[in-house]
């Protein structure tokens, strides 16, 4: 990673996603979490304040050392113990079937292989565990999609590899999950923000054999 990605992008990402509107979405995606949780793309720890009481522990998958450093104050004041785990979501050292839930928010856009990361999430989940996700990606409107494709090359260069056109529900299904809950909408902000602002909130489980 270059200087911009290592030193600037984590701060820009934090500033962009640390706001009351997104906090409300985080509250919803975290609401039903329980037990031992793995978070893919922990970032600066913006989900910690929204973890409900039944969460026993959180393992943070976070490649950015700066993001981890910036999360220190939030981690030390959290009632949930946080451990830094693997640096990449595509290969987790955790045992198969060892966690109750996997949480991922605004991170599948930058993962090199999102289907592989989601498949790993499925591997480490217990049979009754669930994937909770809040992600942005490919919009349903053709005009917005055209702008997403035009802007994506610049977005990837400036935002640490962030893709605007990933079809998140399709990726979740491709990794072997069944969607239990799926909602989608544009984040408030007007037409100019739509290429960045189409989000999905969902919960998914592995099919039972």
Strands 55-61 and 35-40: parallel
Residue 125 exposure: Cα atoms within 13 Å on the Cβ side = 27
Question: With the CA atoms of 40, 200, 55 and 127 taken in that order, what torsion angle do they form, in degrees rounded to the nearest 10?
Answer: -80
Query: What is the number of structural domains in the chain?
Result: 1
Rounded Cα gap, residues 46 and 75, in angstroms: 10
> Average of pLDDT values for 44-65?
98
| 208: confidence class by pLDDT, cuts 50, 70, 90 | confident
Containing structural domain, residue 141: 3-205
Rounded Cα gap, residues 18 and 49, in angstroms: 12
> Three-state SS for 129?
strand
> Three-state SS for 99?
strand
Higher pLDDT, 49 or 206: 49
For residue range 15-45, what is the model confidence (pLDDT) as tens digits? Answer: 999 999 999 999 999 999 999 999 999 999 9
Angle in degrees, CA 164, 67, 29, rounded to 5: 60
Alpha helices, DSSP H, located in the chain: 3, 9-17, 20-30, 65-70, 72-76, 114-124, 142-158, 168-174
Name the pTM for this structure. Answer: 0.97
* Count of Cβ atoms closer than 10 Å to residue 162 Cβ: 19
**What is the per-residue pLDDT for 33?**
98
Asked if 103 and 38 count as a contact pair (C-beta separation under 8 A), the reply is: yes
Output the domain CATH number for residue 117. Answer: 3.40.50.150
Residue 170 exposure: Cα atoms within 13 Å on the Cβ side = 6
**What is the per-residue pLDDT for 207?**
80
Angle in degrees, CA 42, 127, 57, rounded to 5: 35
Q: Which residues contact 147 (CB under 8 A, 6 or more apart)?
A: 194, 195
Residue 86 exposure: Cα atoms within 13 Å on the Cβ side = 15
> Average of pLDDT values for 170-177?
98
């Amino acid at each position: 990673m270059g200087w911009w990605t290592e030193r600037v992008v984590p701060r820009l990402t934090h500033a962009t996603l640390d706001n009351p509107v997104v906090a409300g979405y985080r509250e919803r995606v975290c609401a039903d979490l329980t037990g031992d949780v793995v978070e893919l793309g922990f970032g600066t720890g913006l989900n910690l304040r929204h973890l409900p009481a039944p969460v026993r522990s959180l393992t943070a998958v976070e490649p950015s050392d700066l993001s981890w450093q910036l999360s220190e104050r939030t981690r030390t004041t959290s009632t949930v113990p946080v451990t830094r785990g693997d640096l990449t979501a595509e290969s987790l050292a955790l045992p198969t079937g060892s966690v109750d839930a996997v949480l991922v928010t605004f991170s599948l856009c930058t993962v090199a292989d999102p289907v592989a990361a989601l498949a790993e999430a499925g591997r480490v989940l217990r049979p009754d565990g669930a994937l909770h996700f809040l992600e942005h990606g490919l919009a349903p409107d053709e005009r917005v999609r055209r702008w997403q494709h035009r802007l994506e090359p610049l977005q990837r260069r400036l935002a640490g590899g962030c893709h605007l056109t990933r079809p998140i529900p399709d990726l979740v299904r491709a990794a072997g999950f069944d969607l239990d809950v799926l909602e989608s909408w544009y984040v408030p902000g007007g037409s100019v923000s739509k290429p960045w602002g189409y989000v999905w909130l969902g919960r998914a489980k592995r099919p039972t054999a």
